[in-house]
Amino acid sequence: MDASFLVGLVVTLGYLGIFLASLIGSATIFLPVPSFLIVTAAGTTMNPLAVGVVAGLGSAIGELVGYGIGRGIVYGKGKVTKKQHKYAKTVARWFSEKKGPVIIFLFALTPLPDDIVGIVCGTIKYDLRKFFFATLAGKVILHVALAYAGLYGLEILKTVFF
């Protein structure tokens, strides 16, 4: 996907465009779509807090695609081998009540491959609401930080070069 399409969404639709660009960026599994650059750039001209919240919401909703793929893997398969069952039980322990939200939050907050976490959570039938809200919290914080980085980065550049 071309970044100019995402820029066009933001220019044409404003905050709705940021939401859609972030949703598209997160819904594409394993294919890098530079929506984080759009958020950083939008933070220079729009309210960075609003940009971050809207982008975080769009991104969290987009991550549900990975979760859905994981659920599809569960329902699309026939027999599960003993080795696969053992693996699933081990992963399910990692995502216990205490650790699961923290793991999901940290992957959503950082550039770690959170698509994989979504697929795994869907596969082990992790609670969808817990997955979504942990992802939402991480994505909102990440995108607010990116938007403010755009704002303050531009201010620093103006101070240094102009």
Can you give the pLDDT at residue 35?
82
Task: Judge contact between 64 and 29, C-beta under 8 A.
Answer: no
- The answer on pLDDT for 74 being more than 90 is no
Residues of the chain with pLDDT > 90, as a percent, come to: 40
Burial class of 29 by CB neighbour count within 10 A (0 to 12, 13 to 18, 19+): middle
Task: Judge contact between 124 and 107, C-beta under 8 A.
Answer: no
φ/ψ region of 148 (left if φ > 0, alpha if ψ in -120 to 50, else beta) reads alpha
Q: What is the CA radius of gyration of the chain?
A: 18
Domain boundaries, the chain: 3-161
Can you give the pLDDT at residue 12?
82
At 92-125, the pLDDT tens digits run: 777 776 788 999 999 999 978 888 899 889 988 8
In whole angstroms, give the CA distance from residue 147 to residue 96. Answer: 33
**Mean local confidence (pLDDT), 34-58:** 92
